[in-house]
């Protein structure tokens, strides 16, 4: 990568892969929790994540690039940690660990979308900036919902 545009494209591919991986991981997390509120939060976020994948496809179109993911080691590691928690924890600890794992993903995604949004602005791509802002707002809201569940009952 030699330009900001290159970095933007690479990071876009990274987060596209990450969102696709979460579409596959969230159903396991939904199944793994016995808490109805957490299950609903994960189910809601699964639907949002599917929307985010579609929005990202529009971002690719805005830079006239093919829709393609690039393996994201960070999300792979976070998913692996979540799977480990699902094997090792039970009861209340399992729910708390699943929420903590989901928040780790949210924080990663918030960081990525914040960067991508700013880079889109720097590159003069208002459409990508607006689309990425939508996703960033969704991720922040999901994180806030999980924090509420954690504070009110899981922890």
Cα gap 152→132, rounded to integer Å? 30
87 within some domain: yes
Q: Are 79 and 31 in contact (CB under 8 A)?
A: no
Cα gap 112→126, rounded to integer Å? 17
- The full 3-state SS of 134-145, as one line of letters, equals HHHHHHHHHHHH
pTM: 0.95
Residues in the chain: 155
155 within some domain: no
- The pLDDT tens digits for 66-87 are 999 999 999 999 999 999 999 9
| Residue 39 token pair | 């299950």
Cα gap 34→98, rounded to integer Å? 11
Give the CATH number for residue 107: 1.20.1260.10
What total number of domains does the chain contain? 1
First to last CA, the chain: 43
96 within some domain: yes
- The pLDDT tens digits for 21-79 are 999 999 999 999 988 999 999 999 999 999 999 999 999 999 999 999 999 999 999 99
Structural domain range at position 74:
4-150
């Amino acid at each position: 990568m030699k330009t900001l545009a290159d970095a933007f494209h690479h990071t876009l591919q990274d987060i596209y892969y990450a969102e696709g991986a979460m579409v596959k991981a969230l159903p396991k997390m939904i199944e793994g929790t016995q808490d109805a509120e957490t299950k609903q939060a994960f189910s809601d976020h699964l639907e949002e994540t599917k929307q985010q994948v579609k929005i990202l496809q529009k971002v690719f179109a805005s830079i006239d690039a093919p829709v393609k993911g690039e393996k994201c080691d960070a999300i792979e590691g976070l998913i692996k940690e979540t799977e480990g928690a699902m094997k090792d924890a039970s009861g209340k600890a399992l729910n708390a660990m699943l929420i903590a794992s989901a928040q780790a993903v949210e924080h990663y995604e918030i960081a990525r979308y914040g960067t991508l949004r700013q880079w889109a602005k720097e590159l003069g791509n208002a459409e990508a900036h607006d689309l990425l802002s939508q996703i960033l707002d969704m991720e922040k809201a999901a994180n806030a919902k999980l924090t509420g569940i954690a504070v009110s009952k899981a922890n």
